[in-house]
Each structure stands twice: as C-alpha cells, then as structure tokens.
A and B are shown apart, each in its own frame.
Chain A
Amino acid sequence: MTSVLLPLCERNPEPMALFSVSQTAFLLAFLSLRTYQSEGLSEPLPWAPESLKVSVNTTCQCLHLQWTVHNLAHHQEFRMVFQIEISRIKTSNVIWVENYTTTVKWNQVLHWSWESKLPLECAKHFIRMRSAVDAAKTPGPRVWSSWSSWEEADVQNSLGQDPLFIFPKDKLVEEGSNVTICYVSKSHQNNISCYLEGVRMQGEQLDPNVSVFNLNHVAFIRETGTNIYCKPGQGDGIKGTVLFVSKVLQEPKDFSCETQDFMTLNCTWDPGSDTGLLKQLSQSYTLFESFSGKKTLCKPKSWCLWQVAPESQDMYNFTLTAENYLRKRSVHLLFNLTHRVHPMAPFNILFKNVSATSATMTWKVHSIGKYYTLLCQVELYGEGKVTQHNVSVKVDGAHLFSGLEPDTEYLAQVRCANGDYFWKWSEWTHQNFTTAEAAPSEAPDVWRNVKTVQGRCVVTLFWKPLSKPQAHGKILFYNIVIEYLDRTSVSEVLSIPAPASGTELPLNQCSSQIRITASNSVGTSPASVLVVSREPGNEEVEEERVKGTEDGFPLSWNPQPRHVTGYLVEWCEQPRDPPCDLQWKNLGPNVTSTVVSSDAFRPGVRYNFRIYGISTERVPYLLARKTGYSQELAPSDNPQVVMTNLTSHSFTLSWKNYSTESQTSFIQGYHVYLKSKAGRCHSGSEKAVLSDDVVCCKYKIDNPEQKTFVVENLQPESFYEFLVTPYTSVGEGPHDAFAKVTTPDEYSPTLIRILLPTVFCILLIMITCYLKSQWMKEKCYPDIPDPYKSSVLSLIKSKENPHLTIMNIKDCVPDSIEVLNKQEGTRKSLTETESTKPTYLYLLPTEKRYSSPGPCICFENFTYNQAASDSASCGHVPVPPKAPPSQLGLLTSPENLLKALEKNYMNSLGEIPAGETSLNYVSQLASPMSGDMSNLPTNPPEPALCSEYKMQMAIPLGLASPPSSGSSSLSSITLLDEGEHYH
C-alpha cells in the first residue's frame, strides 16, 4: 500500500501555459535569436511581454496575471523566462520576484497566478515583468527585455462605505497554518482593538488605516470557526470574520477488503478524525478499482461494499481516497480475491450417537465455491479441559469426540477458514451437549461407628457422596447388604435413597459384614466392604498429643507387624457439638503418616484423632489416639473456685468442676494468686507482678488434675484476694475477678465455745424462772397483806361514819388480830366469795368495840402506799410528802375517799382482780399455813400469831411523838422488817 499526497494546487492545477513543443521550431527560433543578439545588443528584445493585465481573486487571495508576447512568427515557439516582480503598498517595496519559465508560441495569452499571504484587500500591490529567452543550455548571461510598466492591484477602492473592514473573510485553513489578518479602517480611527476569541491581539501597522495580525499555527477550536472581530474605540460598531480551522485530513488506516461469499467485497478502514466544519463537510471517501476502472463513493465513513464482478476477476487493485476541501489522501490495496475469503460462521450444529464416552458433531457451512475446501477448527470444553481438532470440510462437517466422561456437559464450538489460502477464521458457532450416564466406577467411601444399645450392636454407617467423575450420573440410592458372619441369621438388604450420607442399623449380631454400593440409573458401583466385630479392638490405647500446624495435623503411627490393607484416620470436625460431624480419611497400607487438614478446623478447639488399621479381613482395630489443637489459645475463662475450711491461718480452694478436656489449649497446671496487704510471700510461693502492677504471691500447681489447694500461713483478721487461673503453653487465663476473703480472729472460736453454752444456760434459767414465777415469788418475796383491803372497810361503810375510817396507830391499842389469807391469782366464783364473806364478818370485832374511840382495828401499812394509790383501791391512803398533786387532790377529800372505799368494797363483793386482791387481802402477817382464802374459815389465826403482831406494833407505839406521815413511814419499815424477820 502506498499513499499519495495531493495538495490543493495540484488538485486544481491552473493551466498557466500548455504548449506542444516542436524540436525543430525551437532550434530555428534559437538560431534567429542568437543572430539578433549578435547584430545589435542595444535594441530592445522583440518578444517583450505586452498587454499585462492583473486581476484580483479575493476568495483565494490570488493575483491573476495575463499577458501576450508579440512579434512572434507564425508557428514559432520559444522557451522563455518571465521575471515577475510584485511590490506592496509602493513599487519600491518589492516582496516577490519569481522567474516563470514556459514555452511561448505565436498569439498565445500567457497566465500566471500568485497567492498572497496578506489579504489583497489590506494593501495595494504592484506587478511588473520582463522576459528573456531561456538560454539555460547556452553559456553566457541571460538577456532580459525591458520591464513592463507597473500594474496596480487595488481592491480597497471597491470595498464600500463601511468604516471598518476585516480580511480575509471566512477563510478556511488547516490546523497548524499561519494566517495573516488585517483590518482596514476608513474613519481614520487609531484606537481600534481586535480580538481573537475574546483575547485582544497585538498587530503591526501596515499603513495609517491598516493593521496586520499574524496568527501562527492556528488550532482547531470548534466547528463554527474561530471568531476574530474588531471594534473601534467609539461607537458600538463591530466587525468580524470567522477563521475556519480544519483538522488535518488523515490517511485512512487499516484499509482491508474481504469477501464472505464471493458476491460482495467488504472494505473497511479507520477514518481518523473528522474534519467537518460549519463551512466544510466532513471528508468523503472514494473507492476506485483500477483493473475494472470502476469507482464508487462510500457514504459510510469507515466501510464500503464493492460488488464482485460476475465474471471471474481474481485480482483487485483498490485505491481508497479521502478528500476534503483542503486535502486529498489515498491508500492502495492489491489482492487476490481467493486470498481474502472470510467465511461465514458455520451453522446447524447437531450431535448424534451421544453415548457415555463419545459423541459425533455435525455442522453445515456456507459454500464458498465448489473448488474451495474449508478448514474448520473444532474445540471441546469440558471438565476444565479444552481439546482442539482441525477438520477439512467441503460441504458438511462432522467430527467424532471420543474419550468423554459420562454424564458430563460439554461445549463444542466450530469455526472455519479458507483451507487453500488462509485469511481469517469465521466467527465461532457453539453448542452444548451432555454425555449419557454410566454405572458408577468407584465404591463409595464408607466408615462406621459401632455402639451397643441394650446389649445389641448398633452400627451407624457414614459414606461420602461419589464425586462426579466417579458417580457417572445421578446417584439414585445406596444399597446395603448385611451378612452375619456366623451364618445364623439371614442376610439383610436395605436401600437408602440418595442423597443420604449415612444410616443407623441395629444388627442382630455384632459380627457381620456390610457391603455398600451406590446405584444410578444405569448400574451399580463396586461394593465397599466393612466388617463389624464384637471385639472393640485396642481401646486402651494411650492418647498422645499432637501439635497442629497451618497445614493441618501431622499424624504418624508405627507400621503394623501384621498385614494390613490400609489405615484410616477418624476425627470429628465439630467436637463440641453433639452431632460430631464424623470425618475419616483412608490411607494406603504403606503409609504411616499423614496430614489431616480441613477448613473446619478452628483455633482453640480440641480435635481427637483415632487411627485404625484395617486388617485383611476388613476389620478395623484402633492403633493410636491423638489429640491436639490446630492452634492453642490462651484460656479465656478461669475455674469456678469454691473456698472451704476458712480458718484464721488458712483456707482451702477447690475447682473440681473444671474440665481440662474442653479448654482452648492443653492445661499444664494452675497458678493461684494471693493478694494481701502484708505483701510477704511464704515458702511455696513466689512474688508475681500482675499487669496492673499489683504485686501478689503466686502458687504454682503443676498437675492439671490437682484441683484443690490449701492456702496457708495467713494472718488472722486479714483481708486477702485470691485467683486460680490455668496456665498453658500459650499463656494463662485472665487476671480478673479476684475473690475476696477475710480470715477470722484467732480467739473467737474459743469464745464462741464458751459463750454459747453460757447464754444457753442463762436463757434456760430465765425461762424456768418465768414459768415458775409464782412459786419463786412465794418463795422469795411473798406479798405483804394490805389492811385497807380487809373487810373492815365494809363495816365502816355500813356504819356510815366516814370519820372513823382511819385511825392513827398511836391512838390505837390493838386488841385483836384478824388475819386474812387469800391465794393470789386464783379467781373465785361469786358464790364462793359470798360463802366466805360471813367468815370475815364473824371474825370482826363487835360494833361496840368498833365505835369506841379507844380501841382500833384499822392499821396502816405504808409498804403498799404506792400500789394502793395506783389501783385506787385503798380508801385511806396517807399522803406522803412527795406525793403528786393529782393524787392529793383525788384522795384528800372525804367524798373521794369514801367513794374509793365503796368501790373497793363493791369489788370485793364481785369479781376481784388478781392484782387488787393480792394487794388488799394478803396480810403481812398472813400465816404461811393459810395460803388460800378458802381455808380461812377452817383455819382461824392462832393466838400466838396475834401476840407476834402485837409485838410488831409495839415499836410504833414507842415512837408516837413523830408526825403521822413520818411515823407511818417508819412504822411501815419496821413492820416490813418484822415481816422479814417473820419469814
């Protein structure tokens, strides 16, 4: 491919001078010219340019010259040089000199054009020329004719009457060009400002009315062009022009043609940037084929269809031409049609004879002619693999896929190209198909768990679903055949529908062989055999610890001396959950180590592994037990500690419920921290600083199963804090929640041992005393009888002589004693009281004796003054000096006294309160023999007692001189003393 750049001037070449040159005529002319030069050099050249006319084309800013050469002979032709001078503004300012060489013949009008950079309206131009015969082939200086007169080209005169003009008008240039702008002012204003897109331009003054602005490397701004405008200082006039800057037309890239059907050629290319403007349409594209000479205008910008000629044309030579107003660019392409065949995509893909492992694919292709062979590429995607095959196709394609996996979906796709001359592949056409099912190829991977329920073996079977390459179809059910080894029971057959992954089977006998197969719609898999034995195997295998890594748990075991068919590792993925999620891994007989890895393994979870050897009889027996953590984590909890046996010097800690098995790491022991104010640590402990800078004593227990600890050597009455935390290889439990304890006093137990019985005894005594209070009272402090409570008062009332109620002792001469005895606290019925009353009366002195002033039967006992006043039962109460006024007021008046006495008497007739009777009727001299009043009539006082009473009264008589109150008091004391003496 080649490209040709055709500038605009070449695209529209102006026919300046076009002559046919005759060698003979040229020689003749040359000879005659030489002759003329030799004859007279001073003469002007006879073939000087004449009739020079200058015209102006403002659209292209061109000066167009035309002239003739006279004196040429008929049929004469000369090769001549015309020297053209162009001046601007004035003739002396020559801006352009050019030698134009051409062949001149008789009577010919010559033309020449010149494009001005400066718009021609901006300045006057002057043109003149001279000529010479082109004597390049001959030596010597060139002989010029004389100059023609200056021709003036002035457009300014025809501009019009506007005060301001801007040139050029609406010019179209390519991006990167240099453009000269000028304005012509006719109003002689000097303060005209010009702007390019709003930015003021600085120009140069060409003459007083004309300024010029040079724009270098103008850039494309918008389709509507770049606005340039000028406005005078005064007035609102504005003049402007639009400079249309076009993007540079680019050569079409990636020009290519191809056919799909030998009917049409599809040519495509990359057009590049659009050069369209408001003033210029976008570039157009033309396709020209040189062999056929046909040409077509392509309306789309990036592709074109070319009808292939019906006659056989193999070779094509295309020229793609892009063209706009300013530029034209072309690219070429020469090719053989048969080498540019891009077939259409195959169609109608079908699959025949699809079996479990093979299938035949057929497809059709669009014909590209009977002489051509297509090369088709077949690809098969399935099971993550890709296979590729090439097939030669004339009309219809077919390919057999073999070695396929059963029950697998495959994607087959096919594409074709010209097999003779490869150009391009067609598009892919693809189709899916699925192979048929086949019987499962592998036995299911089965494991069991045997337990005994009520003396009966129950086996739980687990199996892993067959992988897709093993299942060869959808597994419908699992068959289980149980054969009892002792042949006593009939074999059992079970069918478990998929997708079950296990089942629980109660066995009639433990010793049995279980065969498990998986079935799909086509067939049954090989059997997986398990033997269940009654012997539990080597269950007492010691558990070993294993350290997990990032890759899993590395497990190893000793090779077995007896022959084994393989090993099996069993573990629970969810050991903390009841379902356990039993997992297993089958290993070959020569393997003695493996790494168990699982995404389900979590840090801080203890996993237990059991390694079984499978004997040749398919009986598994336990080889080893391993336990470990994928990653040990520091304990998150501390044991729940119970404190017992607290004494003043020790206490015992116990955490029996703490399970070492279910922790987040292997428990190596315990640390017991003890905080005390003393801060001293005894032997067996060491000082430890906790994270919060607290110093405490640390006791270490190395045995994880020792779950009690006695803290000793404590101080009595001291405050302690303690914490028990497990320690592991990755750290201790949290140091929080210290428990608090205060040791008791050293002596308090002894004191308690003494005090408690004492208090108990006292209490017992008190209760006894309370219960036996009456008895105690009678024994310890019997009641003193109150004379005012005697029956005498009733007699006083009957006599209606209140003045005789009380008699001073000094006035009395005791002559008789009446002793009344009444058992306190006993309540007598009215009838009983009445029955005793005559007894009192009979015992009283006679009326005569009573009325006489001399003898007195009434006596005072001041021991009961207070009690008598409180109960208001005694009619005659001697007023003590310190008695309250209220009592004085109440009892000093004779009426009150009488009333009190009446009341007392009436009480004595009715129901008598125990307190009152005890005060009123229990005499100080009551005989100990007469404890009950009921005994009074039957046990009258003895005369001896009377004599003693007299003796008692003898002392107040001896002290008759003191006042009544004082003597009474003294006498009462004396009486009391006597009473005590009596007892």
Chain B
Amino acid sequence: MLPAAGEPAAGDSWGLLACLCTVLWHLPAVPALNRTGDPGPGPSIQKTYDLTRYLEHQLRSLAGTYLNYLGPPFNEPDFNPPRLGAETLPRATVNLDVWRSLNDKLRLTQNYEAYSHLLCYLRGLNRQAATAELRRSLAHFCTSLQGLLGSIAGVMAALGYPLPQPLPGTEPTWAPGPAHSDFLQKMDDFWLLKELQTWLWRSAKDFNRLKKKMQPPAAAVTLPLEAHGF
C-alpha cells in the first residue's frame, strides 16, 4: 500500500522534500512496483495449462498414426473395448465429488504420478515401434511430455509441495509377460493412448481450476466424468 504523504505546508520546501523522501523510502515496499520479487506460481500454472493443451493437440495426430499402425479394429472411430489388460495404467476418470474434494497438493501429485507412469509406458511403446517415422513422432511426444512433467514439478515447487518419491520396486516396466498375447498388447497400447488423452483433458481442468484459484475471484470448474472416445 502506498503510504499517505502529509499535506505539505505552503512555502515549506523542507516539508515537501521530507515528504518526497518518505515516498521514495517506501517505494520498494509497494507490491505492484516490486518487479524483482517472486511472481508466484501463477505464470507457471498458466504455462502448464498451455502445455497440456498443446500436448492434447499433438496427441490427436500421434494417436491417429499409431492406431492405424495397429490396424483395425483399433483405428475404428467407435472402437471402445473393455479396459481389461490395462490395470497398471493410471486411471484418469474419477468421481466428480472426489475430484472436487482434492486439495491442490493431492491434485498436483496425482498429475505428476500419472504422467511419470504414462511417460514410462510411452517410451516402451517407442522402443517397439517398427517404422522410423513413428519412432520419431513418439520420441518427440515423449520429450514434450517430459517437459509437462517438469512444468508440474515447477508448479509444485512454487507452491511448496514436495515431489512424490517413487516407491522402490513399483516402477512401471514395459515387459509384457509370456501369457500376454499380442492382441492384448495392442489393446494396452490403445488404452495407453486413451488414458493419456483423458489425463491431458483432466490436467487442463486441474490447472484451469488452480489458475483461477490463484487469481481471485475463483470461477467454478466442472469436470466431465465421461472419458471421450478418440
């Protein structure tokens, strides 16, 4: 807040000078003018939100290519198989009340953990891709996703939340068992891309909510519970 300067007496130049000095003395304390201070998590939340939207757009193209690579029925628009063999994938869909009740720390932690897992799976997908062009697209997307992960970590650090530590032995691996058929593997790939898409939608909502929360007054955010098809 600007300090109120006293009314200078007419002709009293010493009083005016003292008033000016007082103003200058308190100037660094004015928040609006203090550009060297920490801007807070607002800009990084905005950047993270923008990144999720960009990744969402990028994934739309990548998923189309990859599902064509898998062949029908995975590239059919109305293909919606049961989520059988993808239990290890972090699930993006959540009950609306549960989602609303999440605090910022938990919300960010879930995002961070989900993308850590998804990134790992995606790298496995990249390793087995047969065509060089597909490998290039997947590697590019992995790099972008790594950036999103770093961005979320930045937001958490700005808000003072610790990064979740992976429990030993629970790191996700891309090693399908011998009983895992190739068809089920393709199904897992399909679900990986689908969950990734849903997570990006959810993250956009999460960061939008967070962004508004940091900029009062907060606006209401609704999250559709139904995951959209590709």
Contact = CB atoms under 8 A, between A and B. Distances in A.
A224 B130 CA distance: 8
Contact of B80 (A227, A236, A277): A236
Given A170-B182, A241-B181, A227 B73 contact: yes
Interface string A218-254: 0001111111010000001111111010000000000
A227 B130 contact: no
Interface string A276-309: 1111000000000000000000000000000000
Contacts of A237: 82
A310 interface: no
Interface string B48-81: 0000000000000000000001111110100011
A229 B128 contact: no
Contacts of A170: 181-183
A451 interface: no
A169 interface: yes
A207 interface: no
A169 B181 CA distance: 7
A36 interface: no
Nearest to B82: A236
B150 to A, nearest CB: 32
Contacts of A236: 80-82
Classify the secondary structure of A's interface with B: loop
B88 interface: no
B182 A225 contact: yes
A184 to B, nearest CB: 15
A278 B72 contact: no
Interface string B14-37: 000000000000000000000000
B186 A227 contact: yes
A224 B82 contact: no
A222 B71 contact: yes
A59 B186 CA distance: 20
Nearest to B179: A169
Given A170-B181, A236-B82, A238-B82, A224 B186 contact: yes
B131 interface: yes
Interface string B181-205: 1110011000000000000000000
A962 interface: no
A578 interface: no
Interface in A12-41: none
Which of B69, B76, B186 gathers the greatest number of chain A CB atoms within 10 Å? Answer: B186
A240 B69 contact: no
Given A237-B82, A238-B82, A224 B71 contact: yes
Contacts of A198: 72-73, 76
Given A227-B73, A229-B73, A236-B80, A242 B182 contact: yes
A601 B2 CA distance: 96
A275 to B, nearest CB: 12
Which of A227, A236, A237, A241 gathers the greatest number of chain B CB atoms within 10 Å? Answer: A227
Nearest to B183: A240
B72 A227 contact: yes
Contacts of A240: 183, 187
A234 to B, nearest CB: 13
A229 B184 CA distance: 11
B73 A279 contact: no
Interface in A259-289: 276-279
Given A236-B80, A238-B81, A223 B130 contact: yes
Nearest to A170: B182
A195 interface: yes
Interface residues of A, number: 25
Nearest to B128: A278
Interface in B73-105: 73-74, 76, 80-82
A221 B70 CA distance: 11
A612 B72 CA distance: 92
Interface string B137-152: 0000000000000000
B27 to A, nearest CB: 66
Contacts of A238: 73, 81-82
Interface string A867-886: 00000000000000000000
A169 to B, nearest CB: 5
Contacts, number: 57
Given A236-B80, A276-B130, A278-B128, A224 B70 contact: yes
Contact of B69 (A222, A239, A244): A222
A227 B82 contact: no
B168 to A, nearest CB: 32
A977 interface: no
A197 interface: yes
Contacts of B71: 197, 221-222, 224-227
Interface in A523-569: none
Interface in A182-236: 195, 197-198, 221-227, 229, 236
Contacts of B130: 223-224, 276-278
Contacts of A277: 130
Nearest to A225: B182
Contacts of B73: 195, 198, 227, 229, 238
Nearest to A228: B183
A237 B130 CA distance: 29
A225 B185 CA distance: 12
A227 B189 CA distance: 14
Nearest to A277: B130
A244 B130 CA distance: 14
Contacts of B182: 170, 225, 241-242, 244, 278-279
Contact of A242 (B81, B82, B128, B181): B181
A242 B186 contact: yes
Contacts of A276: 130
B72 A242 contact: no
Which of B70, B71, B183 gathers the greatest number of chain A CB atoms within 10 Å? Answer: B183
A198 B82 CA distance: 18
Nearest to B69: A224
A249 to B, nearest CB: 18
A222 B74 CA distance: 14
Which of B69, B80, B181, B182 gathers the greatest number of chain A CB atoms within 10 Å? Answer: B182
Contacts of A197: 71-72
Contacts of A229: 73, 183
Interface string B115-148: 0000000000000101100000000000000000
Contacts of B131: 223
B76 A227 contact: no
B189 to A, nearest CB: 9
Contacts of A195: 72-73
A239 B69 CA distance: 19
Contacts of A223: 130-131
A279 B130 CA distance: 10
Given A278-B128, A278-B130, A227 B181 contact: no
Nearest to A226: B71
Which of A237, A239, A240 gathers the greatest number of chain B CB atoms within 10 Å? Answer: A240
A238 B186 CA distance: 13
A198 B77 CA distance: 12
Nearest to B76: A198
A138 to B, nearest CB: 52
A151 to B, nearest CB: 27
Contacts of B69: 222, 224
B126 to A, nearest CB: 14
A50 to B, nearest CB: 35
Closest 5 CB pairs of A and B: A198-B72, A240-B183, A242-B182, A223-B130, A170-B182
Given A222-B71, A227-B183, A240-B187, 9 more contacts: A170-B183, A223-B130, A224-B70, A226-B71, A227-B72, A241-B181, A241-B183, A242-B183, A278-B130
Interface of A: 169-170, 195, 197-198, 221-227, 229, 236-242, 244, 276-279
20 contacts: A195-B72, A195-B73, A198-B73, A221-B71, A223-B130, A224-B69, A226-B71, A227-B71, A227-B186, A236-B81, A236-B82, A238-B82, A239-B183, A241-B183, A242-B182, A242-B183, A276-B130, A278-B128, A278-B130, A279-B182
